[in-house]
Chains A and B, each alone.
Chain A
Amino acid sequence: MTRHLPLAAIYGYFGAMVLGMLGLRYYASTHATNTEQPIPTFSHEVHVGKNKIACSTCHEFTNLADGKLARRPGIPSVQKCMECHIDTKDKPGFQLLHGFYERRESIVWNRIHTLPGHVYFPHHRHIRALAEKQELKLSQTDDSGYIKHDEKGVALGEAEGQAKLCANCHGEVKYMSKIRQVRSLSMGWCVSCHRENNASIDCLTCHQ
């Protein structure tokens, strides 16, 4: 019996490693973020990359200039999609969107970027801080509603600049047909960015 013990130990050890890896694989497949969306043809690559639409056009609460900046970015309603796509009913790839619109149903998008409940994350503060750091000027209008221009005649409010700001945490969305999480959003990552930018690393800053 003792003659077989070493062999049993070898099988036990490597078997445990194989089982551990199978467990990790299963855990990853069930817990990793689901990137499938209810409208599979929707592409940020087309909207942001090809058509250069500013993030705040659809995620309205990310606009620094119009006073609507809020703790959450705002997921666009079907109505928002329809502002541009009302005439696209017969085009291939748009039937699902129009189905939601006609049924007066909301699109329940799968959330990609999630933070645990014990993390306080105000989106607007990060936008303000990053805009200040990167010296970005987003959509500035004067009292009569005209877009302000800088001395070179460039409109103060450009999609590229905003996308660059958002890319700090969301990656280069303009190249993503499907949104993926490209930053770990782990505590270490948050803290290293806070350190890098001289933001507070006090526990209560994020764990209120």
Chain B
Amino acid sequence: MEALTTCGLASAAEVVEKLFAPPDAGRMTLLKWIVNLTFLIHLPYMGLLVAGTILSLLLNVLHRDGGGKNHARLAKDVLDLVTVNRAVGLILGVFPLFALMTCYGQIVYTGHVLTYGVWLGVIGLVSLGLVFVHVYREQWALRESRWFPHLLTGVSGVALLAGAYLLVFSNVLLAGTPERWPLVNDVTDILFTWNIVWRLGQWAALSWAFLGASILFFFFFWEERRKAMDDSYAAYVRKLGAGLALGFLFPAALLMVLEVYNTTSPYFQGGYAFGGPTALMPAKGAFDAALVALILCLGTGHLLWLMISRRNAQFGAHVFFLLLGVYAAWIVGNQLQLGETLKEHEMALAAAAAEHEEKAREAAAPPPPSDPATRYKIGEKVFLQMCVSCHDPALKEKRIGPPLLPRLGRYKTEKNVGDLMKWIVEGGVAGAPDSAQYQPMTPQAVRPRDLPMVAEYLLKRLEEGK
């Protein structure tokens, strides 16, 4: 919360505070799994949609410039494939963003308010981008008569979606770098680092490879679509799909190595991070996930080459699922890295959650007893539990802490009972001439309901002089 108030975002911070409660350890684990699964559904689909729309636009332009009829046919087919229908766009494109906003809101609870605000902006941009892409698809018949407006809707949709995912990756990176939170004042501070570029580049490369694999899968393993293709079109689609998948697999693998190197290099002695240092801790799981992804890339590359060299589409389904595996490994690796860097923040959240629960317990507990004898007994019990490890139970001798009888004199008046309670919970150096002989007293975690009883007990002992 402090990071927020220093950013002049105190009112937004208050809203966040009211919307979310500090998550406990169990909920954090659940949230991370939800984030993993949501990203696994959302990122491949949106990557497919953006890459497919760009491919459709390119083929559309090529056809207009005098390209073959296969260009125009595939431009439409690919667009139909990636957009499916509006309901799928909502379910796989927009709804997961609400889930991600809620999960990140909890994971970085009180971290930085921008992580909530940016998600809202992303939802708006993605929704608008999807609308433009669907308009581009639905106006396909008008492309001859209204070529420029038709093309412009497609380009606008892609631009909006690309901007949205620049924000997504910036935001995810911000959530994973708590040390940057105090330095970020507005959204422009999070928009560009080279680490974001690596990540965005990797998503783009994976998405294009996945688009190629999806073309192979959906065009050759769905009976109706396969039957509708003549030989010339089938050969064209197979070549383009396999070429895209294999061509983009190379940069995807390279970027994966660079990303892992980049996030961990500051911890290697004398290491150098491409594109500026990060403060992420190396998570062993992130290396393992990247290794799995690269081995899957190797297998995918082999199958794709077989498809190209044998001139058939035999392994389309294998390639599709292997690339889905690469996606999953990449997402899991990133989340493991995020978990590692947020450990400290999570511990702070766990402490906040424990305090929250303690307050709730206090509120639900019956009122403290009013009977002096019972209060004395409770005070004595707490004293023996918490104070005698440093102070003499008889209050007379010097131990790790000073003898208490001489020290308690100053708290005799009613006004000073409050000071004594404050002293017990805050501790410190007493400021007496002999204080140098002792360590500062450590603050004692006495429950607020017990605190007056301990103070009363000690003052009673003082009265009794023993």
Contacts and interface: CB of A to CB of B under 8 A. Distances in A.
A binds B: yes
Interface of A: 3, 6-7, 10-11, 13-15, 17-18, 20-22, 24-25, 27-29, 31-33, 45, 49-54, 57, 83-84, 86-87, 116, 139, 144-147, 149, 155, 157-159, 171-172, 175-176, 180-189, 192, 196
Contacts of B443: 51-52, 159
Contacts of A184: 179, 266-267, 277-279
Contact of A147 (B281, B400, B429): B429
Nearest to B291: A21
Nearest to B348: A175
Interface string B221-247: 000000000000000000000000010
A6 to B, nearest CB: 6
A33 B271 CA distance: 13
B429 A139 contact: yes
Interface of B: 178-179, 183, 246, 250, 253-254, 256-257, 260-261, 264, 266-270, 273, 276-279, 281-282, 284, 287-288, 290-291, 294-295, 297-298, 301-302, 305, 309, 343-344, 347-348, 351, 389, 399-400, 427-433, 435-436, 439-440, 442-443, 445
Given A17-B254, A21-B290, A145 B266 contact: no
B386 to A, nearest CB: 12
B225 to A, nearest CB: 28
B291 A18 contact: yes
A189 B273 CA distance: 12
- Which one of A7, A14, A159 has the highest number of Cβ atoms from chain B below 10 Å of its Cβ? A14
Contacts of A14: 253, 294, 297-298, 301
B301 A21 contact: no
A24 B268 CA distance: 10
Contacts of A116: 269-270
8 contacts: A11-B301, A17-B254, A21-B287, A25-B291, A57-B439, A139-B429, A184-B266, A192-B183
Contact of A176 (B295, B347, B431): B347
B428 A158 contact: yes
B250 to A, nearest CB: 6
Given A182-B279, A196-B183, A6 B305 contact: yes
A185 B266 contact: yes
A53 B428 CA distance: 9
A185 B430 CA distance: 38
Given A21-B291, A83-B439, A146-B431, A28 B302 contact: no
A185 B351 CA distance: 27
B268 A31 contact: yes
Given A20-B257, A155-B429, A54 B348 contact: no
A88 to B, nearest CB: 9
A172 B257 contact: no
A149 B430 CA distance: 11
A84 B439 contact: yes
Contacts of B301: 10-11, 13-14
Given A17-B257, A182-B281, A84 B344 contact: no
Given A6-B309, A53-B440, A18 B294 contact: yes
Contacts of A87: 389, 399-400
Contacts of B428: 147, 155, 157-159
Given A180-B344, A188-B277, A21 B257 contact: yes
Given A13-B250, A84-B439, A183 B279 contact: yes
B294 A54 contact: no
